[in-house]
Chains A and B, each alone.
Chain A
Amino acid sequence: MLSFDDVTRVFHLDEDTSITPVRDVTMEVKQGEFVIIIGRSGTGKTTLLNLAAGLVKPTTGRVAVGGNDLARMTQKQLSVLRSEKIGFMFQFPSLIPALTVKDNITLPALFSSRKETDGIEARATRLLGILGLESKINVHPKQLSAGETKRVVLARTLINEPQLVLADEPTSDLDEKTEKEVMALLRDVNSKGVTFVIVTHSLQLVPFATRAFEMENGTLSLMRETVRT
């Protein structure tokens, strides 16, 4: 589903200074896996996720989704990939403030080549029902709590039924109870065959993973692997 083949990413800050947040990373994520990457702030987790979404190109190495090398894809192909096959949960508040919850959730459908407007509306309502947010469908993001915001972001991520979900700190800013609820939701979606790659600094999420990696100084090492029965 997602593969990193000896990927390095270097950012040049100026002529003399550069940083390498991702260094020689090789990883293969299979369909239906629930991968968690643990690491402290500044270890390159977000860059790794951006590489997986094609938001950043690797300096060396190859990143592929579904066997397609992202660096060789055109902007148009990348847009289609991001709107139809990849769901992205950002670490920062990423809902569009001017739009209602429903409009935020259905937003990715605007960029999808699949034209099913009626289906999208119904799916948005169903997702909000599953996430317990039916009453919030017409409110604006500023009226939501942190937990509700995360759930709305999750609904937006899932609206186009992606095959791969990339989540950056999906439970940050959440209390313990809400964190567990959100993770349970993610696992529930995962159980339907959707692949997850989550980066977080929270060790408490490790038990949810089929495989957990640790990221330090841009390199990745396997921490734990769980065989699901």
Chain B
Amino acid sequence: MNLLRLAFKNIVGSGFRSTTIFLCVMGIAGFLLSTTFIIRGSQSSLESGIRRMGAEILIVPEGAEGKFETALLMGRPNNLWMPAENVEKINAFPGVEKVSPQIYFSSLYGSEYCAMPEMFLVIYEPETDFTITPWLKDNLGRSLDKGEVIGGSQVSVPRGEKGLTLYNQTVTLKGNLEPTGTGIDQTIFMTMETARELSRSAAGETGYPLEIPANSVSTILVKTEPGADAHKVTLDLLRETTGMFPIESPSLFGTFRTQMNSLLRGFFVLTVFIWGLATIMMAVNFSMAADERSREMAVLRAVGARAGFIFGLLLTEAGLLAAAGAVAGIVIAASVLFFLGDFFTVTLNMPFLFPSVSSIASLLAAGVSLAVVTVTLSALFPAIRVSRQELAIAMRE
């Protein structure tokens, strides 16, 4: 027998009291973690999406910045067009090193090839591209041929099928990009050659060709020259171009980030409030338990326990309960988010990328530490009171 074992036995022996505190900590830790997961997952998703594009500046049709962000962020279909001649204009702009256009070609609903409700077809230009091409070089060793596509992480070929049949034309999925939690995950990237094949095939199937607007692009991805100030280039573009709107990568999803920050502040206030209430509730619980157990503790003192042992025992019981409750809450929250992440993405209308193992581990450590400290603090005063109680009086009660 030792202090830890005695504390554990006391916890098991006090079923109702222990369960109440355990559930309380579990609920709060679970809530705290799940909201932190969603917010962090969302932020991580944004960063991943921006990294994936690999551009410092994005040029979109003027007045369509918000729509573009939504399209990129949540995979909402959009017909975003601007003249293709803009590509050359931007390419010649001071401070710009490379440009590459992309065309939002088509959207498919309820596709069997995508885990999300909508799937998007995007055309990229292999000669200039710096988003998909580096990935292809690293993973495929070559660029895409006609009839080959690359998909986001949510795109897959069903078992038993050879490829993706789009508009009655089968294309080969040559690989999947890493998850970003944004609309990129539900996107298929293809070359103009493949897009034209699909367009023709669609005409054969439906009688109407799938239109690829001539001399139009949806967006232009811009890489600035080494040493150039991307912010200054963006401002210059804003000043000196018309009919298009430059967005600097760090400012991308600005509206969404603002909403996220408001959500984060609201969440923080709510968490502090709930955590405070829970701490008070647990302190009351511990205080009542301390009164109920004052004679039991007096007996321990009478058989030789020091006041410090009683103090340590009560805090250890609180700490063990807090740690167990926090671990359970965090594991449940993480499991729910892991298995229902896509559901939350759709329901909450926000991008979400499940955090990395190291991120989960740090959240777990932080959550458990916070729970242990809070619960132990709530048990502190009852523990001091019981450990210092007048033994003779406690035994008479």
Check B13–A55 contact: CB distance below 8 A.
no
Minimum CB–CB distance from B36 to chain A (whole Å) comes to 35
Check B391–A112 contact: CB distance below 8 A.
no
Give the interface residue-count category, chain A: 20 to 34
Check A90–B302 contact: CB distance below 8 A.
yes
Q: Which residues of B contact A98 (CB under 8 A)?
A: 9-10, 12-14
**A210 interface residue, CB < 8 Å from B?**
no
**A10 interface residue, CB < 8 Å from B?**
no
**A25 interface residue, CB < 8 Å from B?**
no
Interface class of chain B by DSSP: helix
Q: Which of B93-101, B304-312, B368-376 contacts A (4 or more CB under 8 A)?
A: B304-312
Check A112–B296 contact: CB distance below 8 A.
no
Which residue, B12, B299, B301, B390, has most C-beta atoms of chain A within 10 A? Answer: B299
- CB-CB under 8 A for A56 and B391, given A98-B10, A110-B1, A110-B2: yes
**A107 interface residue, CB < 8 Å from B?**
yes
Check A56–B9 contact: CB distance below 8 A.
no
Q: Which of A78-86, A127-135, A143-151, A216-224 contacts B (4 or more CB under 8 A)?
A: A78-86
The interface bits of chain A over 92-108 (1 if a CB of B lies within 8 angstroms of the residue's CB, else 0) are 10101111000100111
**A43 interface residue, CB < 8 Å from B?**
no
Which residue, B9, B14, B299, B303, has most C-beta atoms of chain A within 10 A? Answer: B303
Check B303–A55 contact: CB distance below 8 A.
no
Q: Name the residue of chain B whose CB is nearest to the CB of A87.
A: B303
Minimum CB–CB distance from A11 to chain B (whole Å) comes to 9
Q: How far is the CA of A106 from the CA of B9 in the complex (A)?
A: 14
Minimum CB–CB distance from B293 to chain A (whole Å) comes to 10
Q: How far is the CA of A88 from the CA of B301 in the complex (A)?
A: 11
**B223 interface residue, CB < 8 Å from A?**
no
Check B302–A55 contact: CB distance below 8 A.
yes
Check B299–A84 contact: CB distance below 8 A.
no
Minimum CB–CB distance from B228 to chain A (whole Å) comes to 71
Minimum CB–CB distance from B384 to chain A (whole Å) comes to 15
- CB-CB under 8 A for A111 and B395, given A90-B299, A96-B296, A98-B10: no
Which residue, A82, A97, A110, A160, has most C-beta atoms of chain B within 10 A? Answer: A110
Q: Which residues of A contact B1 (CB under 8 A)?
A: 103, 106-107, 109-110
- CB-CB under 8 A for A94 and B299, given A82-B304, A103-B1: yes
Q: Name the residue of chain B whose CB is nearest to the CB of A50.
A: B392
Q: How far is the CA of A83 from the CA of B304 in the complex (A)?
A: 4
B side interface size, CB within 8 A: 26
Check B2–A47 contact: CB distance below 8 A.
no
Check A84–B9 contact: CB distance below 8 A.
no
- Give the contacts of B1-44 with A (CB-CB under 8 A): 1-3, 6, 9-10, 12-14
Q: Which residues of B contact A88 (CB under 8 A)?
A: 302-303
Check B302–A111 contact: CB distance below 8 A.
no
Q: Which residues of B contact A108 (CB under 8 A)?
A: 303-304
The interface bits of chain B over 281-297 (1 if a CB of A lies within 8 angstroms of the residue's CB, else 0) are 00000000000000110
- Give the contacts of B382-397 with A (CB-CB under 8 A): 390-392, 395-396
Q: Name the residue of chain A whose CB is nearest to the CB of B14.
A: A98
Minimum CB–CB distance from B307 to chain A (whole Å) comes to 6
Q: How far is the CA of A55 from the CA of B297 in the complex (A)?
A: 13
Minimum CB–CB distance from A75 to chain B (whole Å) comes to 6
Q: How far is the CA of A84 from the CA of B305 in the complex (A)?
A: 11
Q: Name the residue of chain B whose CB is nearest to the CB of A153.
A: B299
The interface bits of chain B over 349-378 (1 if a CB of A lies within 8 angstroms of the residue's CB, else 0) are 000000000000000000000000000000
Q: Which residues of B contact A211 (CB under 8 A)?
A: none
Q: How far is the CA of A76 from the CA of B302 in the complex (A)?
A: 12
Check A79–B304 contact: CB distance below 8 A.
yes
Q: How far is the CA of A50 from the CA of B302 in the complex (A)?
A: 9
- 10 contacts across the A-B interface (CB closer than 8 A): A50-B391, A50-B395, A82-B301, A88-B302, A99-B6, A103-B9, A106-B1, A107-B303, A110-B6, A111-B306
* Chain A residues within CB distance 8 Å of chain B: 46-47, 50, 53, 55-56, 75-76, 79-80, 82-84, 88, 90, 92, 94, 96-99, 103, 106-112, 140, 156, 160
* Chain B residues within CB distance 8 Å of chain A: 1-3, 6, 9-10, 12-14, 295-296, 299-307, 309, 390-392, 395-396
